[in-house]
Amino acid sequence: MNKHFLALHDFSKKELDGLFELALELKKKQKNAEKHRMLKGKTLAMIFEKSSTRTRVSFEVGIYQLGGHGLFISSGTSQMGRGEPLKDTARTLSRYCDGIMVRTYGQDIVEELARFATVPVINGLTDLFHPCQIMADLLTVIEHKGSYQGLKFSWVGDGNNMANTWIEAAAIFGFDLTLACPEGYQPDPKVLAWAQANGTSAIVLTDDPKKAVQDADVLNTDVWASMGQEEEQKAREKAFAGYQLNSEILKLAKPDCIVMHCLPAHRDEEITDEVIEGPNSVVWDEAENRLHIQKAIMATLMA
Ligand code: CP
Ligand code: NVA
């Protein structure tokens, strides 16, 4: 197993399937109030350069349930915000802590931290990837559908960090994925090229949301403007008009499809209130599963 959790492409299907198994086991233990203190006395530093509700709370609660302690570090109130080099932060935190979780902008930032840290580094979202989220999403698919195998996945909206990570997941796990993104907002071409070179699944890119959701089992979307793109909101509202998960588009998918959103959602932009609150939505299970999969990731990397 790779020492760090920076991107899904660093892992084999077998390793990632092992994380789902462990997450389900830990979830059961937690529900039965059985002890599972696999990280007793260990500390996770959690660096945030962007806002968070789910990531912060699920990591902090997760390490606590494993018998350890989570330490919230906002980049703005630490020396990182005053320009202390990442490599110095990585080496300093490694002397106090047993793992580092980081939410930031460039993927190069998490890579630089990992290069100099002597403890595992976990990617809690970058502009390029959100691997913990897609692992939680797939755990949710497994729970609702029994398996991700043979299902048709679809993405409607921005070709952002979530879309890029779904592309990697499709290649690694071998499921078919169709993404509908407007021109100019397509996924990262390098990620797509990697997936096409390393996987056998059909990964189709279109600008037609109807085509993407046709007979789909799993429907996904995300905000039109991600963190750091707030100033583009107005332009993006124009570009993404029509790229919405609503009851009309849902009719084209399988009747028992599940609807996912990593949250936070902008109701009546990328998804209607009716759909996110409707019977096909599994967004709260998805949010809960962040806790369980991240406990499995931490227990595997930090024990
Ligand atoms: N989905 C997700 O990462 O949520 P937060 O931004 O609240 O952490
Ligand atoms: N694409 C979104 C995901 C938030 C969890 C963002 O990067 O802001």
pLDDT in tens, 23-60: 999 999 999 999 999 999 999 999 999 999 999 999 99
Q: Which amino acid is at 220?
A: N
Residue 227 CA to ligand 2 centre (angstroms): 6
The verdict on whether 285 is a catalytic residue reads no
Q: What is the DSSP string of 78-91?
A: SGGGGT--HHHHHH
- Out of 3.30.70.380, 3.40.50.1370, 3.30.70.270, 3.40.50.10490, select the CATH number for domain 8-130+287-302: 3.40.50.1370
- Collapsing DSSP to helix, strand or coil, 153 comes out as strand
Domain ranges of the chain: 8-130+287-302, 133-282
Residue 107 identity (one-letter amino acid): Q
User: Rg for the chain (alpha carbons), in Å?
Assistant: 19
**CB distance 196 to ligand 1 below 6 Å:** no
**Domain 133-282 CATH class label:** alpha beta
Which of 97, 222, 236, 294 is an active site residue? 222
Q: What is the pLDDT of residue 270?
A: 98
Fold agreement (8-130+287-302, 133-282): yes
* Residues pairing with 152 in the sheet: 176
The angle formed by the CA atoms of residues 148, 150 and 154, to the nearest 5 degrees, is 70
Q: What is the mean pLDDT of residues 144-172?
A: 98
Is any ligand 1 atom within 6 A of the Cβ of residue 283? no
Distances (CA, A) of 72 to 12, 58, 135: 30, 12, 22
pLDDT, tens digit, 9 for 90 and up, residues 186-211: 999 999 999 999 999 999 999 999 99
Cβ atoms within 10 Å of 32's Cβ, excluding its own: 8
Tell me the per-residue pLDDT of 96-123, one tens digit each, with 9 for 90 and over: 999 999 999 999 999 999 999 999 999 9
- Identify the DSSP state of 217: S
In the chain, DSSP assigns E strands to 43-48, 69-74, 99-103, 121-123, 152-156, 176-180, 203-206, 218-221, 258-261
The residue whose CA has the least distance to atom 1 of ligand 1 is 262
130 assigned to active site? yes
pLDDT of residue 275: 98
The first and second tokens of residue 221, run together, are 């979307």
Residue 1 has pLDDT above 90, yes or no: no
200 CA → ligand 2 middle, Å: 28
Query: Does 52 contact ligand 1 (Cβ within 6 A)?
Result: yes
Read off the amino acid at residue 106: G
Q: What is the pLDDT of residue 8?
A: 98
Is residue 222 flagged as an active site residue? Answer: yes
Task: Answer yes or no: is pLDDT of 178 > 90.
Answer: yes
Residue 123: half-sphere exposure toward Cβ, Cα within 13 Å: 31
Name every protein residue with a CB atom under 6 angstroms from any ligand 2 atom: 125, 160-162, 222-223, 226-227, 262
User: Does residue 103 have an active-site annotation?
Assistant: yes
Ligand 1: residue of 46, 48, 50, 52 to mutate (most ligand atoms within 8 A of CB) is 52
Record the tokens describing residue 188, joined without a space. 């990262």
How far apart CA 153 and CA 168 sit, in angstroms, is: 13
The whole-number average pLDDT for the span 7-36 is 97
User: pTM above the 0.95 mark?
Assistant: yes
Residue (of 181, 189, 185) closest to 220 by Cα position: 181
Query: Which residue among the candidates 4, 130, 261, 292 is catalytic per the annotation?
Result: 130
Averaged pLDDT of the chain: 97
